[in-house]
Structure 1
Amino acid sequence: MATLYDLLNVHADVSDAEIKRAYRRAAMKVHPDRNVGREASAHAEFQELKEAYAILSDPEQRRVYDAVYAEEMSRLARERDEEAARAQAVRDAEYARHVAVAMRFAEQGHNRDVVFGVLLAHDCESQLAGRIADGAVALHLSRQERTSPNEQGEEATSSDASEAQEARPQAAVERARGDEPRASAERTPVDFFSAVWRGMFGLHS
């Protein structure tokens, strides 16, 4: 939003003397006599400069203008904040809907590609759909692993159980993507649910 100060190419806190000098410089530049061939537009610019100077050169009018401008800027800022908050609320609701859809289809046993396709059909952006599909399927696989019996039918030692717990998140994500689990040396202990929701589900700021 251009201001009267912008027309004179000065800052809002300049002195009256600087406003006068700025007006003279600008008026000489846009005066119709100095702009042959574009007199009409030059005349319009010259009139704007004159009006700006008439207000800013008068202390009382300048004070009132500054107060009105400050209030207008504050109002516009509030409107932008409110609009941004409404837009974010809409995005959050859409995101939650997409995650709910993905989890429902993942829990029904559908693979990542099916979940991804369903999200696209629900107007989810492709990149986001991929992250949500990866996360939903990985989370479902992890839940299955946490509730399934030991494959050997034996009780694991506390040390083995700890290592398996740490390895599951990465393995589940890799299986959801169709990759082989990484070697144990590459596994990093993480909170699986935090990793999924922050990394795979693509939480936005």
Structure 2
Amino acid sequence: MATLYDLLNVHADASDAEIKRAYRRAAMKVHPDRNVGREASAHAQFQELKEAYAILSDPEQRRVYDAVYAEETERLARERDEEAARVQAARDAEYARHVAVAMRFAEQGHNRDVVFGVLLGHDCEPQLAGRIADGAHALHLSRQASTSPHEQGEEAMSRDAGQAQEGRPRSAPERAHGDEPRASAERTPVDFFSAVWRGMFGLHS
């Protein structure tokens, strides 16, 4: 934001003598008599210089101007900080959503390229989608490697049983019982994997 000091090309702590010299120098440069052919614009500039000098050469007016400018500068800074915070919060929420989607598809056994394509379909920026897809696939593989053979067998049996029952309708108790773990599983990536993701990769600006 340009100031009266900028108009006279002096620092905000300039002395009265420095302001006076700066005004005279600038006024001579833009005086209409010295700008033949562009008198109208030169006159406008000359008037701006006169108004700036009238304020800055008067101690009381200069004090008020400095106070108002400082307050306005502080207000604008607060607005910028608040806007930056809102933007960052929105980015964090979007990032968490992409991570949750990636982990859900990775846990379903889809490969990295499928996860990447799904993220692109969810309007994730390609470079970020690549990082998240790589991390989701790697994290899924590491979790699989840390699972004991017995646990893997139980998981496989559970998947086979679920697939075998897909052809018959489920009763109301079965639907209620079956839907609850699924809802819990869908919430898990947001709560657990997002936190793990932060530690492994972080959110890059």
Q: TM-score range by the shorter chain?
A: 0.7 to 0.9
Tell me if 1:4 matches 2:4: yes
Deviation at 1:77, TM superposition (A): 0.5
Runs of 4+ in structure 1 deviating by more than 4 angstroms, as ranges, are: 193-199
Task: Find the counterpart in structure 1 of residue 94 from structure 2.
Answer: 94
Question: What amino acid is the match of 2:37?
Answer: G
Q: Which has the higher contact order (CA 8 A, sep 6+)?
A: 2
Asked if the contact 1:102/1:136 (under 8 Å) is kept, the reply is yes
**Alignment deviations for residues 22-46 of structure 1 (CA, whole Å, 9 cap, x no partner):** 0000001111111122111111111
Q: C-alpha separation between the residues in 1 aligned to 2:115 and 2:109?
A: 10
Segments of 5+ residues of structure 2 without an aligned counterpart are 151-193
Q: 1:17 to 1:30 in 2, by over 3 A?
A: same
Q: C-alpha separation between the residues in 1 aligned to 2:106 and 2:95?
A: 16
Q: 1:147 to 1:82 in 2, by over 3 A?
A: same
Deviation at 1:202, TM superposition (A): 4.9
* Equivalences, count: 162
Q: C-alpha separation between the residues in 2 aligned to 1:74 and 1:131?
A: 38
Q: 1:67 to 1:196 in 2, by over 3 A?
A: closer
Question: What amino acid is the match of 1:2?
Answer: A
Asked if the contact 1:128/1:202 (under 8 Å) is kept, the reply is no
Q: C-alpha separation between the residues in 1 aligned to 2:81 and 2:99?
A: 27
Aligned positions of 1:106-117 closer than 5 A:
106-117=106-117
Task: Find the counterpart in structure 2 of residue 52 from structure 1.
Answer: 52
Q: Give TM-score scaled by structure 1 length.
A: 0.75
**Alignment deviations for residues 107-149 of structure 1 (CA, whole Å, 9 cap, x no partner):** 0000011100010111100000000000001000000000043
SS in 2 for 1:110: coil
Aligned positions of 1:110-149 closer than 5 A:
110-149=110-149
Asked if the contact 1:30/1:43 (under 8 Å) is kept, the reply is yes
Question: What amino acid is the match of 2:76?
Answer: L
Q: C-alpha separation between the residues in 1 aligned to 2:31 and 2:49?
A: 10
Q: 1:78 to 1:127 in 2, by over 3 A?
A: same
Percent identity, aligned pairs only, is 88
**Could you say which structure has the higher helix fraction?**
2
Q: C-alpha separation between the residues in 2 aligned to 1:89 and 1:108?
A: 29
Q: C-alpha separation between the residues in 2 aligned to 1:6 and 1:204?
A: 37
Asked if the contact 1:116/1:129 (under 8 Å) is kept, the reply is yes
Q: C-alpha separation between the residues in 2 aligned to 1:9 and 1:123?
A: 48
SS in 2 for 1:102: helix
Task: Find the counterpart in structure 1 of residue 73 from structure 2.
Answer: 73
Segments of 5+ residues of structure 1 without an aligned counterpart are 151-192
Asked if the contact 1:101/1:119 (under 8 Å) is kept, the reply is yes
